[in-house]
Structures are given as C-alpha cells and as structure tokens.
C-alpha cells in the first residue's frame, strides 16, 4: 500500500473519470459507484409513478423534464435506465435531422436502442421483448412455432387481431428475429434501412420502411403488442440541436405532433412512457411556437424540473469521486474529502445550492491545485511532514504559467479521443447512421471550415433529405453533395435521375456523389445515368470509409453539446464557434479522408499516416496530453490509460513513445530505480524566448 499523497501524485484526476459531454445512455457506461442517490431522488420518484401508471393500464403517458444546463438531465435518464431496465425497455432519441423525417428517426433510434443488451443480460432488449410477448411465453408453444414461419405469423395475428399495421409482413420480420442468420437483417428492416432486393426477398417483404406513414405504423405495432409486456420508455434528449424555424426558433411542433398522435390513438400506441428532456431556458423561449392543444394536460401528464443540489449532496459528490483514491491508501484516517475541504464548497457556492456539473468542475480545479502542491513537496523531500498550504478561494490557475489557449487544445484532444472511441464502438458500418443524419453531420462539419451558403435539399422529391449545396471554402465553386447508401438499385436509379436534373439545370458547378455501396452494373438504368454524370466529367464520386463516418459522428456529438452550452473543456463552456476553432487548431480531423477528398483539408504527410490505431505520433500526442493535463502521473497509470485508449497497441510501443517524449525533452522522470512501473512522470517546462 502507498500513502495517500503518493497515490494522488501517480493517479489521474478522479474528476476526469467521466466525460462532461452529455449523450446517449446506451453509449455512456455510468459508474454506479459514483452516483449520489439523494440527488434528484424526488424527481425520480415522480417518474417512477408515471411508469407505475403505464404498467397498470398500458395507456401511454408523457413527462416533460426540465432543468438548467448542467443540472444532470442526461445523467438522470441514464440513471433511470440503469435502475429500471428490469421493469421497462429504454430508448434514447436524439435530435432529428429534418422535421419531415421525425417518425422514421424516432423508429430508427428506438430500434437502435432495443438491439442493445441491458447490463447483465445475454440477449438484446429486442429479443427479450419478443420472447416475453404473451403468445410466446409458453416454452413448448414457442418451440413449436419458432420452427414454422406461417404458424408463427398466424398465431400472432390471432393473438392481436386488430390495430396492427401490415400484420403479415410485420410478424414475418419478427419471425426472422428468431433466426440467427436473419436477425441482423430483420433489425435493419425495422430501423428503416433501405435494403437491397435480395435482402428483401430473404425477409419475404415487399419493400423497406420508406415513408413517415409506415414508420408510424411500425411504432404503433411495437407499442400495441407490448401491452402485455414491459413498457417502453422513449427518452427525447439534446433537443437544442433539432431543426429551426425561419425565425431561428427551435421547431418543437413535430415532436409534439408525435406526442399528440400517441395520446389521441391510445389503443394503438400503447405502453409508452415518453420523457421529453429540455433545458429550462430553451423551453421558455420556444414553447410559444407549439400549438396550445398539444400542451394540454391530457397530452403532458407531468412537468418535472430538476432542482439545484445542496452542499451536503455536493460534498457527497466529491466523496464519491475521491473514494477511488482513498481506498488504495495504507491509512484511512484522512478526511473522506482529502485533499479537498468542505470550506471550499461554502466559499465557492455561498448561496448553498448549485448544479452537479459546477460541483465537479470546481472539484477538478481544486484537486489539480492541491495535487500540484502535494507533488512538489513529495518530490523535494520524501521525509518532510509539511502539508501544502490550502487555498480556499478559487482564483485557480491550472495552467501554472503555460499558455492558456495551448492548454485548452491539449485538453480538447483528450475529450476528442474519448468521444472518438465511443463512436468507434457504435458506428460499425456506414449505414449505422441513416442518410439524412449523415447529411446533417457533414453540413455541420463543413461549417466548421468556413463553408458558406449551405442550402439543404438540393435534389427534389424523396431524395431531398440526402443532398445539399454550398460554396466551397477554397475553390469558391458552388458545389452540390448527394450522399445515399440505399441498397436498392431502384432507389439508386431515382437518386441518379434527380442528380441528372441538377446537372441539366446547372444548379451547381461540381456535383459530388458520396456512396460506398454498389452502383450496380452497366445493364441497370441507374448505373447508366451514374456513368453519364460521373465518368470523364468535372463531377466526382467519393467512396467514404468507415473512419470518416466515425470522425463525423464524433464531431456531431461535441457539436450538439456545444449547441446546448454543455460542452466543457478545461472548465470553460465551449461555444460552437470555439469548438470550430479548436477542431481546426488541434488538427483532429486531418486524417478524415472524406474531407480530404472534398478538398476541405489538404492532403499531407499526416493525412497519409498509417492506421491511427497504431500511429506513433497519435500515441505520443495522447501521452503528452495526459501528462500536461494532470501535471504529474505514475508511469503505470499512464500505461494503463494509454492501453485502454489504444487497445491494439502493444505496451512496448507505448513505452517507446514515452521514451520519445523524454528524449525530446517534453517530460522528465522524477524518481528512478529498478521498478520502472513505480516511476513518476511530469511535464518538463519548456524554455521560452524573449
């Protein structure tokens, strides 16, 4: 065992253990050990009452959840999922890219959540939902009909004789879920992917879900046959990033159209608990644009506002974060808050109440300052009994004389790495993200590079959601972009026909088609139009790779947080403009091949670097960012964190990167000896020139 001061010197700041970027609770693994149950306890009880009512009569209900930025709304949704997943299935619904696409977006994100596995379960929510439908609860009966498609469909049709949309095809797809060879294909159909003709034949369905009406019908089916099952909790969150009206107000009306539809057709849309999470100030500014009838008591069954927390709860938050440090120490006679003190809370929050995020931000600053003092004394003389002087006020300067802007970039890179890793786990293929969402992501990332005059809906008809035009920031050309990964060659034909109209009308100087999927063979009309437009012409076809989509998804998560004023870097709230500056200054998108192909980013040596998983420069940057952010770290901790972030990299490669930083005089070792794992590593102050 080590002394608590030694542990503080070698470990990561415990207030860094979770990102302060809010997001999808199926991607954010909450640590139950860090939860303070007394925080928002009453609000959780109210939501549980709503769930009890849905369980009792199967009628859907809606709760409006409001709270200030940083009050913990997204965290609360994750906590509900973690605590109540045995009683209900949970779906996270983020902002939709276009208001004309909201039913399909809601269905897609509901199915995306249903295919996730609850903690401790071997099967997805979707399979648990299917197997607990009452006609399938009898094991003998289920075994009999699982082997016979027609019998399966007929028995479900008999069990649910009314209010099922397109029952034969819907129950046929549910049957496909029981076949391991068809399971993922059936999931893709349910979430609204445009499947190829071959895949449709395998599922024995006529067409993919391609309209709002069909998506609405499938959502109704899911709720209708869930009436004898667990409720489904639809959590709408991060709503500051939804589409805007002409006056720049947020367009909440489509969401409340869905909500009213669910309540009006209560015998069709059954067993849903809808939670609409929104920042209080956002709601106050925009609710006037919603039809009054949609806000009536029958449509909103409860309004819950998250309260500020008191100092006892704030102290408990600090204790939870610091517990990891204390449990490793050889002595336990220190205050549970050490190296922090209760007085610091009283001085920094004189009103006695605040929000959880500010408590964590202040804790991070104060801990870093305390660590600096402890490590300075510990490394000067191990036998000294002097305690560092405690500064109870908060003119905290974690940079210790370094350039603040440079420090912000370093810490932003660490946050980017966290979000990129989460995106890697989620985005396993390009079609994980639907077409309209891909277009939205690309628009926002181009805006970061000063792309002007971005106009949506370049194509006409069905494919307008898959296109836009803009003024290229470098060439100053008016370019058009079409991104469609639809598998159906019929759908590809229509997309190419619409593209031909754009070319004929000279609506842009250069048209880009972004598509990884097949473009068919020369006998198909769609392929013939494609070759006419994109072969031997100024127009261009780009085949995106999966890493480019991961880059887009990472940026979009940070963009949504910045838009809601919930992106915190180095204790600073980051605006969209600041996020755009950080992205360019940090170079985190320099390897995005899609942006290189679009000539937004210049191709250079860094762009042509090998796989980023094993790129030594990226490993060195990550190591340096960790040391710079934490001031001092144990080598063992540094290796563990880097291995966790680069799982395919061998420890020997990481050790070599540490030596590179040492040889380049970026870091220094504070102690030596036979046990290199016990070494402490700190930043080597850089010489400045006058």
Q: Taking the mean position of all CA atoms in its chain, how far away is CA 223?
A: 25
Q: Which CATH architecture has domain 430-544?
A: 3-Layer(aba) Sandwich (3.40)
Residue with tokens 């127009």: 539
Q: Which CATH architecture has domain 37-305?
A: 3-Layer(aba) Sandwich (3.40)
Closest CA to 89 of 185, 225, 217: 225
What pLDDT was estimated at residue 613? 46
What pLDDT was estimated at residue 142? 55
Which helix (DSSP H) or strand (DSSP E) does residue 478 occupy? strand 478-483
How far is 202 from 370, CA to CA, in rounded Å? 63
How far is 296 from 280, CA to CA, in rounded Å? 18
What pLDDT was estimated at residue 397? 37
The dihedral built from the CA positions of residue 99, 104, 107 and 113, taken in this order, carries a sign that is negative
Q: CB under 8 Å to 578, separation ≥6 — which residues? A: 562
Cis omega (within 30 of 0) for bond into 339: yes
Q: Give per-residue burial for 107-129: e unless 16+ CB within 10 Å, then b.
A: bbbbbbbbbbebeeeeebbbbbb
Beta strands in 323-416 (DSSP E): 353-354
Q: Do 612-683 and 430-544 fall under one CATH topology?
A: no
pLDDT tens by residue, 281-326: 999 999 999 999 999 888 999 999 999 999 999 999 999 999 989 9
What pLDDT was estimated at residue 391? 38
How far is 417 from 626, CA to CA, in rounded Å? 11
DSSP 684: P
Fold classified for 612-683: Arc Repressor Mutant, subunit A (1.10.10)
Query: Would you kindly state where each structural domain of the chain is located, as residue ranges?
Result: 37-305, 309-398, 406-427+547-597, 430-544, 612-683
pTM of the predicted protein model? 0.89
Q: Which parts of the chain sit beneath pLDDT 70?
A: 1, 17-20, 134-135, 137-147, 377-406, 605-615, 671-677, 686-690
């Amino acid at each position: 065992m080590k002394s608590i001061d030694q542990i503080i010197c070698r470990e990561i700041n415990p207030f860094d253990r979770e990102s302060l970027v809010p997001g999808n609770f199926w991607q954010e693994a909450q640590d139950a050990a860090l939860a303070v149950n007394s925080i928002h306890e009453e609000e959780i009880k109210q939501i549980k009452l709503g769930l009890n009512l849905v369980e009792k009569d199967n009628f859907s209900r809606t709760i409006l959840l409001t709270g200030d930025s940083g009050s913990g709304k997204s965290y609360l949704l994750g906590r509900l999922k973690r605590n109540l997943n045995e009683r209900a299935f949970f779906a996270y619904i983020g902002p939709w890219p276009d208001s004309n696409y909201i039913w399909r977006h809601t269905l897609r994100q509901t199915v995306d959540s249903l295919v996730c596995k609850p903690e401790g379960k071997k099967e997805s929510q979707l399979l648990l939902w299917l197997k607990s439908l009452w006609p399938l609860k009898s094991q003998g009966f289920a075994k009999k009909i699982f082997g016979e498609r027609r019998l399966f469909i007929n028995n479900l049709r008999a069990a649910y004789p009314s209010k099922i949309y397109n029952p034969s095809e819907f129950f046929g797809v549910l049957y496909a879920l029981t076949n391991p060879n068809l399971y993922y294909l059936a999931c893709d159909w349910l979430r609204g992917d445009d499947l190829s003709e071959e895949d449709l034949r395998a599922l024995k369905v006529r067409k993919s879900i391609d309209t709002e009406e069909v998506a609405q019908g499938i959502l109704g089916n899911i709720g209708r046959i869930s009436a004898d099952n667990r409720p489904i909790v639809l959590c709408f969150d991060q709503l500051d990033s939804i589409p805007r009206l002409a006056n720049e107000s947020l367009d909440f009306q489509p969401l409340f159209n869905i909500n009213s539809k669910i309540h009006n057709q209560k015998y069709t849309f059954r067993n849903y608990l809808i939670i609409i999470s929104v920042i209080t100030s956002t709601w106050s500014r925009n609710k006037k644009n919603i039809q009054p009838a949609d806000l009536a008591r029958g449509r909103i069954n409860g309004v819950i506002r998250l309260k500020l927390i008191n100092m006892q709860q704030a102290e408990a938050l600090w204790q939870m974060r610091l517990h990891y440090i204390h449990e490793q120490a050889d002595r336990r006679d220190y205050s549970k808050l050490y190296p922090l003190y209760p007085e610091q809370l009283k001085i920094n929050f004189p009103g006695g109440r605040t929000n959880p995020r500010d408590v964590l931000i202040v804790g991070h600053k104060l801990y870093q300052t305390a660590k600096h003092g402890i490590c300075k004394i510990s490394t000067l003389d191990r036998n000294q009994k002097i305690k560092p002087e405690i500064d109870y006020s908060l003119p905290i300067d974690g940079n210790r004389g370094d350039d603040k802007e440079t420090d912000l970039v370093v810490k932003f890179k660490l946050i980017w790495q966290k979000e990129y890793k989460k995106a890697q786990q989620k985005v396993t293929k390009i079609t994980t993200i639907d077409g309209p969402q891909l277009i939205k992501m690309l628009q926002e990332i181009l805006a970061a590079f000063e792309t002007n005059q971005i106009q949506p809906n370049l194509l006409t008809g069905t494919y307008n959601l898959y296109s836009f035009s803009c003024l290229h920031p470098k060439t100053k050309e008016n370019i058009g972009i079409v991104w469609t990964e639809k598998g159906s060659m019929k759908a590809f034909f229509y997309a190419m026909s619409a593209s031909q109209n754009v070319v004929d009308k000279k609506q842009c100087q250069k048209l880009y088609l972004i598509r990884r999927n097949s473009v068919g063979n020369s006998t198909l009309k769609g392929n013939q139009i494609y070759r006419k437009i994109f072969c031997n012409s100024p127009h261009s076809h780009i085949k995106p790779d999966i890493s480019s989509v991961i880059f887009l998804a990472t940026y979009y998560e940070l963009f949504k947080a910045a838009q809601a004023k919930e992106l915190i870097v180095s204790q600073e709230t980051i605006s969209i403009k600041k996020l755009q500056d950080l992205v360019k200054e940090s170079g985190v998108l320099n390897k995005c091949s899609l942006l290189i192909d679009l000539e937004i980013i210049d191709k250079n040596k860094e762009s042509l670097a090998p796989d980023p998983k094993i790129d030594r420069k990226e490993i060195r940057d990550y190591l340096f960012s960790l040391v710079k952010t934490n001031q001092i770290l144990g080598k063992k901790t540094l290796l563990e964190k880097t291995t966790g972030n680069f799982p395919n990299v061998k420890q020997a490669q990481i050790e070599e990167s540490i030596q590179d930083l040492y040889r380049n005089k970026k870091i220094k070792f504070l102690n030596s000896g036979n046990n290199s794992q016990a070494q402490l590593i700190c930043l080597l102050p850089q010489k400045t020139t006058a």
